[in-house]
Amino acid sequence: MISSDSHLIEHPTLWTDRMPASLVERGPVVVRGDDGKDWWYVDGKKTMSFLGIQAGRRFDGDPSTLVTASTFEDVRPGAYDPKLFVKESEEDGVVGSVIYPTEGLVLFSVPDSALCSASMRAYNHYIAEFCGDDPQRLKGIGMINVDDPAEGVAELTRCREMGLVGALMTVAPPPYAPFDHPMYDPLWAAAQDLQMPLSMHTATNRADPKSGAGGVPDDVQQVPPSLFVLQDTMVRRALADMIFSGVFERFGRLMVGTVEHELAWIPHLLQQMDYTYTDRPARGDWHRYADPGALPSDFFHRNVFCSFQEDAAGIRERELIGVDTLMWGSDYPHTETTFPRSREITARVLTGVPDEEQERILYGNAKRLYGFEV
């Protein structure tokens, strides 16, 4: 198997070692709290603690034993040591991993655009070094701030030059700059030409740089359960904006992915997009495709990839979603990871799926998209 969605746990000195001197005091830093736990702070705001401490514990069946705060010393070494990362992955049946950040996800909720961008550039150096330890099995995803698309293009280019295989952008841009805005066309063109897939991962909503709205909540320990249940809401809007505005018509080789939002919502989205395009009267200057027979779902099937973890309902609807869009991820080493039971869980989720389709979902699609040679 290849995991299309794994994570590393950032070392406590990642940003203090790599940030520009003028921003290092505002960048991410670890502080030992009064509770005896380590907490990341960004620009003076408390964000999250260390999560890579309990991979597999959810299988004990008692959620009361799961925690959301710890110290770095408690983190399993495989979460930050690339050699141990590969070893534990192989023991779990995973021969290659696409790697996303953990604390880095929080950076999208930092309103200050310069601080956000500088923190992402520092992380990109770090993930490139991490994956450079075993580039055949470890493929890194950089982070780009697209507040200024030209700046995003420059960082995307630098990520490619450092050996990263894709980039993570916000799943929810500010309300005044949705992804149907033409300002992003240079970014789409660069991603297409650089062959850099763009990912939209859960928990990457962009704080509004103008108002500061949508930033880190005051109490990071208070998260309603509905947030986890409805986490696909933002990615639906982002993909629909791109598809209806003709982004994938203009940039036919651009690949954009939904990551860790699962799958079962996709057939309904495709149905509603096609119905809206063919049966609803236009409200305003709605885009019409040059090909009179084209449908929104056609562009989804051609240009969107879908990383999931254990969505059996979505797999049952795989023909509607498109088997070639699907790729599995273990989410190692986060609390909800399938590690160390990935073989068992994928066998259950893919029950009844023909072997050839299983191979594409568990291995072939990610291999093709990210250039694995394992």
Residue 337, pLDDT score: 97
- For 55-69, 333-347, 360-374, which range has the lowest pLDDT when averaged over its residues? 55-69
Full-model pTM: 0.97
pLDDT of residue 216 exceeding 90: no
Residue reference for tokens 């005051």 = 218
Whole-angstrom CA distances from 292 to 246, 270, 275, 286, 288 are 13, 18, 15, 14, 8
- Give CA 266 to chain center in angstroms: 17
User: Is the bond into 296 cis (omega within 30 degrees of 0)?
Assistant: no
Residue 51, pLDDT score: 87
283-301: per-residue pLDDT in tens? 999 999 999 999 999 999 9
Contacts of 93 (CB under 8 A, 6+ apart): 1, 342, 343
**Considering the chain, what is the average pLDDT of its residues?**
97
pLDDT of residue 217 exceeding 90: no
Identify the CA nearest to 79 among candidates 95, 99, 108, 49. 99
Helices 149-161 and 113-131, axial angle in degrees (round to 10): 10
Residue 215, pLDDT score: 87
Phi and psi angles of residue 141, each rounded to the nearest 5 degrees, phi first? -105, 120
pLDDT of residue 177 exceeding 90: yes
291-338: per-residue pLDDT in tens? 999 999 999 999 999 999 999 999 999 999 999 999 999 999 999 999
Radius of gyration of the chain (CA): 20
pLDDT of residue 374 exceeding 90: no
153-171: per-residue pLDDT in tens? 999 999 999 999 999 999 9
50-59: per-residue pLDDT in tens? 988 999 999 9
Over range 350-359, report the average pLDDT: 98
Question: Which CATH number is 2-29+76-370 given?
Answer: 3.20.20.140
Over range 331-356, report the average pLDDT: 98
Residue % of the chain over a pLDDT of 70: 100
What is the spatial distance between Cα 126 and Cα 172, in angstroms, rounded to a whole number?
25
Contacts of 38 (CB under 8 A, 6+ apart): 12, 30, 31, 32, 49, 50, 70, 71, 72
Residue reference for tokens 């699962």 = 262
Six-digit token string for 362: 């568990």
Residue 224, pLDDT score: 87
pLDDT of residue 361 exceeding 90: yes
pLDDT of residue 2 exceeding 90: yes
What is the spatial distance between Cα 15 and Cα 11, in angstroms, rounded to a whole number?
9
**Domain-by-domain residue ranges, the chain?**
2-29+76-370
Reported confidence tier of residue 228, pLDDT bands at 50, 70, 90: confident
